[in-house]
Each structure stands twice: as C-alpha cells, then as structure tokens.
Structure 1
Amino acid sequence: MSREPFPEVSVPRTLSRPRLRSTAALFTTLTAFASCCIVSARPSEPYAAAPCALKRTAAHHSEGLDTWNASYPRPARGLDAVMVFLSFPDFKPVNSPAELAADHFPATSDYFRRASYGRFSLRPHSLLRWVRMPKPSTAYAIRRDWAAKDRSAYLRDALAASDAQVDFSRYDVVYFVADPDAPGVDSDATKVVNLRTPLRADGADLRRIVTVFERHPPDRLVLAHETGHVFDLPDLYRRPTDGKGDWDTHVGDWDLMGSQFGLAPDLFAWHKWKLGWLDPRQVVCVRGGERARLTLEPLGAGPGTPMTLPTGSTAFGLGGGVKLAVVRTGADSVLAFEARGPVGNDRAACRAGVLVYRVHSGEESGRGPVEVVDAHPGTEACWENSVYPPLADAPVSLGETFTVPGEDVRVQVRGRTLAGAWTVDISTGRRV
C-alpha cells in the first residue's frame, strides 16, 4: 500500500521558564588596548583546511569540524521529519495529535530557518491519528535515565505499531510523541536515542529516534534542542553529578544546546560553521602574533532581518558578512568571537556586544565542550527571566576592551556601522 507523506500542521506556542539562580564568576580584566600594527582580517579557507578549524575527535558530539560525521544527517538541505503519536491502553488521550503537533511546529522549523539564514528547512509531516501501543504506559518504566531494556522495548513496540501506517524510508528524522497525560509518561525523559545497532524499517536503517514525552503545552523550543542532537550538536549545559546546583553555568542563555529557555538561544557561530550555514568568507582566523581589525555582523542577522541600533534607528541585515572570528589556543581548543544582540532568534537577548567563548573539540557532550567567557564577572543581569544571570551580561560592550583570562588575547569593541555591524580589534601575543 502506498503511504504518502503526511501534511504539515502548525500553530506556534511558547512558554516562559521558571527562574534558575546561582552565583559564579570568572576572573577577568577590562584593560586599555595597547597600540600596535593592524593586519587585515583574512577569511578562512573551506573549513576542512582552515588553520582555526579544530579536528573532530572521538568525543561524543565532538566540536571538531574538519570533517562531517556521516552517521548524522547534515542540515545543509531540506530534510523531512515524521511525527508519530503514541497512545496507551491504560489511558484515553485528552488532546488530539493535531494539538500536540502544533506545540512544536512551526516553531521548530521557524527556529532552524532563522538560524540557518534560510539555508535549511525542516519539513514536518504528522500522522494525525493515534497509534496504539501494545502495553500500558507504566510497563516501559519511562524516565530520564532510562534502562536500556525498557527503552529498547518501547522503541520496538512503537516501530512495530506504526510501520503499517508510515513509510520510514521517506524521512530523515523520526519523532515518536507519547500521549503526555498517560500515567507512565515522564516529561523529563524526552531525548534522542542513538542506536548502536540500528532498527530496520521499510528498507531503511533508523540510527537515532527522538522520543518526545513533553507535557502539553511543552517546554519552549525543546524539540529544536533535541533535533540539534540529530545534527551532531552536543549538550552545553552542566549536569551536576549530585543532582544539585545550576545546570546553566557553561553557556547561560547563549545557545539552544545549553538551554531551550535561553533569552538568546541562537546557535553559536561555531555550530553554524559546523553545520555548513556559514560560507568560508564569513569566518576569520586570527593567527598568533597578529592584531586584526574586522567587522562582525550580528549573528542573528540574515538577509533583510531588522536590527535596532543604539541611535534608535533600524537597519536591515545583509546576511553575508563576517559572523565569526577564531583564535587558535591549542591543539584541540580555540577562542571564538561573535556579535550578539536582540535580532532573529536572539530577539529577547538581555545584552548586546561581542560574545567570547572557548571551544574544546575533545570534550564530551555535557562536559563543557563550550564555555562562555564572562567579560563582566562582577555583575549580573536580567534576573527576572535569564536562565543564568551571571552570564546574561557576558558580551564585551561598545567601547570596552577585554583581556581573556589565561590567554594573551584581547578584544576591543570600537564601534558600530550604519548597517548595525560591530567594528572589532582582536590581538594575540603568542603563536599557537
């Protein structure tokens, strides 16, 4: 029987997040900028050969980007995703599949369209009827740290129950969405399951499946976060080993893979480079011993994106300017610099300026592969809605000069252009 792709169903919905609070700071200095010669900033080569491109390592979701991990679908083109809605014999669903689909789309597709500057489209197809699972929801022991045998049983049953209605060979991404009100469903268990031995359906290998257990309505942008893992992006939050403490100390509000609740959840420019959404000319490698003057276009500014300038006037992004500057600091580490502000996916950003962060290609997902450097360690901002106020004001502001702790690297934010870009000097005193 021929099974056509299902129609797209979409209604946007967002939620606020409870506030999480903690205090932590890095030792940093704001200094006068020493005068020296200026060299022109050089766009990078294609990233496989760029001197500041870290090599991919064996770490799970390595931040290395010299090669693409071919076991993951690369979002450099349109990809199709299927949503299958699972009910259980121990509970009659309260909501319809259409209502649950609208919790996630078009918000998820819109996020990726903006983040990729229109280079990537995620096309959702929803099976708008319930697929009945063979066992009660409580039989699968669903929870965050799910036992492998229970998780495997759930996936096998879900695939067997839905295979007659879905041609899985048509889709790049699979979402199994459980009835959120069933008694055995735990909203904290939403995750991507990576399968060492893929499941087989319709002649296709399913290597990873997004299992969705979100309550209705769900956490904001949670499906975009999980979909990021499907594209080989790591978790950037810190998971306390004792279950206590703040989860957001590594990157705060500044990347979706840190928190789907962040005020500025656009993906770091490093991630956009990794995913193929930046051209080589949009990345500048600053070599050791150089002082480079460059113009950074706001990360969220795509073609025609409106930006509010400090004067109160509005500029419209061209979308093709330099988005990322990189200084190599070691064999598997770099410093990255990008301009962030209230535009695009970052429209609720707490502060604007040049964000500095460290990238480590050898660190595992969830163990600090990216760490934002706080240019204002003595202050905090946006207590009312930031996921981690100590980093909410992390960017280097207009007119400031910042020395990166532990590195002979300084950045001076000199001004802004009429088009809204940031003029920046970056200097490094040592060669790596």
Structure 2
Amino acid sequence: MPRPQLRSTAAVFTTLSAIAATSILSGQSVAEPFSTAPCALHRTAAHHSEGVDTWNAAYARPRGAVDAVMIFLSFPDNTPSTTPTELTADHFPATSRFFERASYGRFTLRVHPLKRWLRMPRPSSAYAIRRDWSAPDRAAYLRDAFAAADPDVDFSRYDVVYFVADPDAPGVDSDATKVVNLDTPVHLDGTDVRRVVTVFEKHPPDRLVLAHETGHVFDLPDLYHRPVDGKGDWDTYVGDWDLMGSQFGLSPDLFAWHKWRLGWLDPRQVVCVRGDGTTRLTLEPLEAGPDTPTQGLAGAPAFGLGHGTKLAVVRTGPDSVLAFEARDSAGNDRSGCREGILVYRVRGAAESGGGPVEVIDAHPHTEACWETSVYPPLADAPVSLGESFTVPGDGVKIEVEGRTASGAWTVAITPTLKD
C-alpha cells in the first residue's frame, strides 16, 4: 500500500518551478575542516574543486553505509518491456562492489529499489530529453518525477536518489544520464533533496555508468575533456586511469587523491615530499586493501598490504601538486594495461571538465593496448620498474627502484633537481 502523501502535488510543482537544471552548489559557506596537511590543496569556488583541506557539507560523505533509492518511471507512450528488478540488476551489485573495493570497505552503497513502475503524466517525447537538456524541459521532468514518487517514497531515508526512466520509451536518450544539481533544494518528507541522478540508460547499460554518476553525488569532478565541437578525443586528460574520466577505462579505480578527499585513506597513508633532497619510500598498490591478495615477486599471492603509504605528493605551486601512486592490474583495475608508478598533476581551482587532474605520460612517444584502451597514448603512462622519469616543467624526478616481497613499490622522489 502506498504511504500517505505528505504534501500536495501543487506544493511540489511550486517548489520545482525554481529549479535551474544547470546550476551548482558551491557550498563554500558550509565547508567543514578536513585536512591541514602541507600538501593539501585548498578548496576553491570551482565546481567539484579538488581541494582536500575541507569537505563541502552540501554533499553526502561516502563513508559507512549510505542509502540510495531507485525509482522507476514509465510513460503513457510506451509499455515497459523490462522490469524494475531487471534494471536494478543492470547496476547492482556492480556499482556497490566497485565502491566497496575502491574504499577498502569503508563505504557501502545500499540500494533500495521500488518494485513497480510509477507512471509519469506526459509522454516521454514531451520532455525533450537529450544530453544538453534545456533547463525548462529538465525542470518539468523532475517536477513530474517528484510528484509521481512522493506518495511511495520517504525521501528522508535516502542520501542518493536515482530516477530511472523506461529505456525503451521513444523519447528517452541514453546519452542524457547525469546528475542534476538543484539551485533550490526540493523539501520533501522533512528533508532537502539537493541533487538527483537521472538515468536514461539502455538495457543493458554502459559499463560502470552509474558508478561514475554516483561519484558526482559525492563531489567528484568530470575528468574527461569535452571537445568544443563534440568531436575528437574525450580522454586526453586522464585516459583509462580514473572512473571520473571514463567508465570504460581499463584501470577505472579512483585516484589516490580522490580516495584522500573522500576519507578512504588515513592521513598517515599520504606522504608530503618536501625539500631539495631525495626521499625514498614504499608505495602500496592503490588497488590493495587489507584483505586483497596481490602478486608477490615469485608470482604467488601475497597479503598484508592495505595500511601503508598509498600517495606521495609534491607541492608545485599555490594551487597545484604532483601526485605519485602505484597502480597494479588487480581489484577494480584487473583489466589494466600497464603497471607502475602513475604521475599526475592536480589543480584545486580547475572546474569539473576543465582538467582538474592531468596524467603525465612517462612514455610520450609510445602507446599501448590500442585495441582496448580509451586513449592508447596514456595507456603506458606509468613509470615502470627500473625506470626513472623527470616531470617536464617541474624538475621533479621519480625513480622506481624495486618491489618488495609483498608487492609494494620502492621509489625515490627528488623534488628539485640540482645542476
């Protein structure tokens, strides 16, 4: 039995009339202290800033158990040929498993799907659904979606809201899946809904697409480069190396920098490299958690990783750092093309989609895995065992000296090279 409707449909319409679909919440006035490490970039007003010194309290924190509701919307112009159960299985448990591995078990995404379709009042074609959706059309869609869901959903129970459209409806465009930030939160059931994930995926969907969109719910930026004319390569900034760049990447685990931001790394697992001398340290593979088997030097499974250093950082300016992390072909990166020490630049003031993270290619004259990589020129970006690499323009040298019996990488980092 549907629960009693807690507010009138007219009130929902009034609230949603203020929605600006492309607006964002900077959250500067509600930032919470997070880290004071010397290499922690400051959070800026940029959308999804990569700053780690504070957490934007307008976003849910992905730590512990977080509950999500999945709401299924049908339209008068089509009878669904799939079921809510089938569409739930398209995304779960794959999405939850990705985050459980990425967070080393510190974050669990619990989905609560509705068991039936909820009917929208207008045909799917009436909403003009597309990737670059107009604000009025998207606002109308959300207005109707909230009104349809309110009798059945207690929004106060959930931190994440997925509106899943009938994938076979004639007006549904699978390229339109994205997070919508609400300039004016929708107040339902005593809680403010600040953002929703609008899902228009075909059945079956694109790989890990919901994990990518859920990353935005937790304040992670888009790392791909969108060409002005929509043509050309989208993956020139980070290639295969982070889910927020491409959900199709061979190594989609989140960067260690993002895991630091999200609270999945302890402060002692991040080393700030300072001074002009050489610092030697051991970097555990990003993919390895406390109970994750990795390959030892003899090829046999080795355990015991998961609590050591995951990220080394060199400050290069007021708003920029170089980050160093070890990437193996395991866990979320089990399809990885190359292993080694990945080097990337982070800028705290860069906007989402504007290159806040850029992978630095240690092998700029070669490429790899051309048949499977989203961007082969960066597929062989890591510094391999026995190699050294000096970051162009920054004079920072990384030497990969060896591997321990447990599979960790031993490296030497020299921040400022001497003549």
Q: Secondary structure at the match of 1:57?
A: coil
What residue is the counterpart of 1:338 in the other structure?
A: 325
Q: 1:159 aligns with which of 128, 146, 153?
A: 146
Task: Give me the TM-score of the superposition, normalised by structure 2.
Answer: 0.91
What residue is the counterpart of 2:25 in the other structure?
A: none
The question of 1:286 aligning with 2:263 is answered: no
For 2:320 and 2:326, the matched residues in 1 are separated by: 20
For 2:320 and 2:64, the matched residues in 1 are separated by: 29
Please give the per-residue CA displacement for 1:242-274, whole angstroms capped at 9, x wherever unaligned.
111100000000000000000000000000000
Q: CA deviation at 1:49?
A: 1.2
Q: Quote the sequence identity (%).
A: 75
For 1:60 and 1:244, the matched residues in 2 are separated by: 24
Contact 1:307 1:342 in 2 (8 A): no
What residue is the counterpart of 1:131 in the other structure?
A: 118
What residue is the counterpart of 2:165 in the other structure?
A: 178
- Structure with the bigger RCO (C-alpha within 8 Å, sep 6+) is 1
Q: CA deviation at 1:284?
A: 0.1
Q: Following superposition of structure 1 onto structure 2, how do residues 357-376 of structure 1 map, counting pairs within 5 Å?
A: 357-376=344-363
| Stretches of structure 2 lacking an aligned partner (at least 5 in a row) | 5-32
Q: CA deviation at 1:199?
A: 1.2
Letter in 2 for 1:281: R
Are residues 361 and 213 of structure 1, via their aligned partners in 2, closer, same or farther at CA, if it must alter by over 3 Å?
same
Please give the per-residue CA displacement for 1:327-366, whole angstroms capped at 9, x wherever unaligned.
0000000000000011111111100000000000010000
What residue is the counterpart of 1:102 in the other structure?
A: 89
Q: Secondary structure at the match of 1:359?
A: strand
Q: CA deviation at 1:383?
A: 1.1
The question of 1:66 aligning with 2:57 is answered: no
The question of 1:298 aligning with 2:285 is answered: yes
Contact 2:2 2:151 in 1 (8 A): no
What residue is the counterpart of 1:413 in the other structure?
A: 400
What residue is the counterpart of 1:210 in the other structure?
A: 197
Contact 1:91 1:183 in 2 (8 A): yes
What residue is the counterpart of 1:7 in the other structure?
A: none
What residue is the counterpart of 1:57 in the other structure?
A: 44
Q: CA deviation at 1:297?
A: 0.2
For 2:2 and 2:213, the matched residues in 1 are separated by: 30
| Stretches of structure 1 lacking an aligned partner (at least 5 in a row) | 5-45
CA-based RMSD? 1.5
The question of 1:314 aligning with 2:301 is answered: yes
For 1:136 and 1:113, the matched residues in 2 are separated by: 38
Letter in 2 for 1:150: D
Letter in 1 for 2:152: Q
For 2:353 and 2:264, the matched residues in 1 are separated by: 24
Contact 1:301 1:317 in 2 (8 A): no
Q: CA deviation at 1:309?
A: 3.8
For 1:411 and 1:197, the matched residues in 2 are separated by: 47
Q: Secondary structure at the match of 1:89?
A: coil
What residue is the counterpart of 2:102 in the other structure?
A: 115
Q: Secondary structure at the match of 1:78?
A: strand
Q: Which runs of 4+ in 1 moved over 4 A?
A: 1-4
For 1:408 and 1:317, the matched residues in 2 are separated by: 34
For 1:172 and 1:217, the matched residues in 2 are separated by: 25
What residue is the counterpart of 2:383 in the other structure?
A: 396
Q: CA deviation at 1:288?
A: 3.3
Once the two structures are overlaid, the 10-residue window that deviates more, 287-296 or 346-355, is: 287-296
Q: 1:229 aligns with which of 208, 216, 222?
A: 216
Contact 2:397 2:417 in 1 (8 A): no
For 1:157 and 1:430, the matched residues in 2 are separated by: 61
For 2:297 and 2:332, the matched residues in 1 are separated by: 19
What residue is the counterpart of 1:255 in the other structure?
A: 242
Contact 1:288 1:327 in 2 (8 A): no
Q: Secondary structure at the match of 1:262?
A: coil
Task: Give me the TM-score of the superposition, normalised by structure 1.
Answer: 0.88
Letter in 2 for 1:401: S
The question of 1:81 aligning with 2:68 is answered: yes
Q: Secondary structure at the match of 2:64?
A: coil
What residue is the counterpart of 2:367 in the other structure?
A: 380
What residue is the counterpart of 1:148 in the other structure?
A: 135
Equivalent residue pairs, number: 390
Contact 1:408 1:428 in 2 (8 A): yes
Q: CA deviation at 1:160?
A: 0.4
